[in-house]
A and B are shown apart, each in its own frame.
Chain A
Amino acid sequence: MAPRRLTWRIGEVAETSPQTPRTKSLFLDVPDWEGHRAGQHVDVRLTAEDGYQAQRSYSIASAPEDGRVELLVERLDDGEVSPYLTDELRAGDGLELRGPIGGWFAWEAREGGPLLLVAGGSGIAPLMAMIRHHKAAGSETPVRLLFSSRSYDEVIFREELESLAAENNALRITHTLTRSTPPNWTGYARRIDEDMLGEVAFSPEERPLAFVCGPTPLVETVATALVGLGHDPVRVKTERFGPTGG
């Protein structure tokens, strides 16, 4: 890929689709989209009538093989950007963005694994791109996803993840629910900790490539625990949302 300078352009919203009560997927047609690597993000910029601009980063949830660019947006009530994206934006609207950005937090099937993915809430977005890419590329790399959500109804991409895991022995998914659990729930029901990672993750000897994405406290807990378990820090990549998002 030839080096190029990053420029702003307009993507057109082809479709929006609610995922959970607080998240929505935006499917964008971006003219001359040169493709992305699973895990990369875009910057989105909104401009008010008075010229005030607000900018946020959103991970791309779609696989490179998918035609459209899917962004997963979590609605933050006091956010400057996300309420507009989830409540106001309609099919046919334009959205100013630039990308794809960020080659560091990215995975391609040819890099192998095994692949350890740890997500908190909407942190699933870039990891979903990797899981979808894994399928689209026909990869046989073993993948384990540990996914922390507040409740069963707030498990983003739940049905798609279930069907992907059902059809692919190389993909193993473990959920933990931190606030409420449905009747007869037999899975984890606490925040991710070192014991849980010890049970779910590949062993350090298997040298997994780990990607961790979610709220800052989760990311820092997981990264510290993985290194504590003996994983190579260089193979643990993190993407913090930060405390505010927006």
Chain B
Amino acid sequence: MDEHKLDGNAAAGVLAEIFTFEMTTAHCACANCGATGEVGGQMAYLSEIGTVVRCAACDNALIRVASGPGRYWLDLRGVEYLQLEESL
């Protein structure tokens, strides 16, 4: 896949590989600018080497996921917090 800008919702697949909660409707706060919103409403960049979810307001990298054989690397330094909702 070429790297290109998509909606945060496009990262739903890779996030669902890691998290059991629905992550696109999780609320996040950006550690850089403080903006809050649902993960699905942020921006996502998908490429062969991994996925980056960026803040729609300031472009700060919120969530980075890379994967290799049998393992994942998850970098959440860009989020102040994540609020996870149980599915209805």
Contact = CB atoms under 8 A, between A and B. Distances in A.
A102 B20 contact: no
A98 B6 contact: no
A3 B20 contact: yes
A210 to B, nearest CB: 12
B38 A104 contact: yes
Which has the most chain B C-beta neighbours within 10 Å: A104, A216, A243?
A104
A1 B17 contact: no
B11 to A, nearest CB: 9
B25 A43 contact: no
Interface string A176-204: 00000000000000000000000000000
Contact of A1 (B5, B6, B8, B87): B87
Interface in B1-55: 1-2, 4-10, 12-13, 16-17, 20-22, 24-25, 37-41
Nearest to B20: A3
B5 A242 contact: yes
A105 B4 contact: no
Contact of A243 (B4, B25, B40): B4
Contacts of B25: 103-104
Interface residues of A, number: 29
A6 interface: yes
A5 B16 contact: yes
Contacts of B5: 216, 240, 242
Contacts of B20: 3-5
Nearest to B4: A242
A169 interface: no
B6 A3 contact: no
Nearest to B86: A3
Nearest to B2: A244
A99 B9 CA distance: 13
Contacts of B1: 54-56, 246
Contact of B13 (A43, A216, A243): A43
Nearest to B8: A104
Contacts of B7: 104-105, 238-240
Q: Which 4 pairs between the two chains have the least Cβ-Cβ distance?
A: A104-B40, A3-B20, A104-B24, A102-B12
Interface of B: 1-2, 4-10, 12-13, 16-17, 20-22, 24-25, 37-41, 86-88
Interface of A: 1-6, 41, 43, 54-57, 98-99, 101-105, 216, 234, 237-240, 242-244, 246
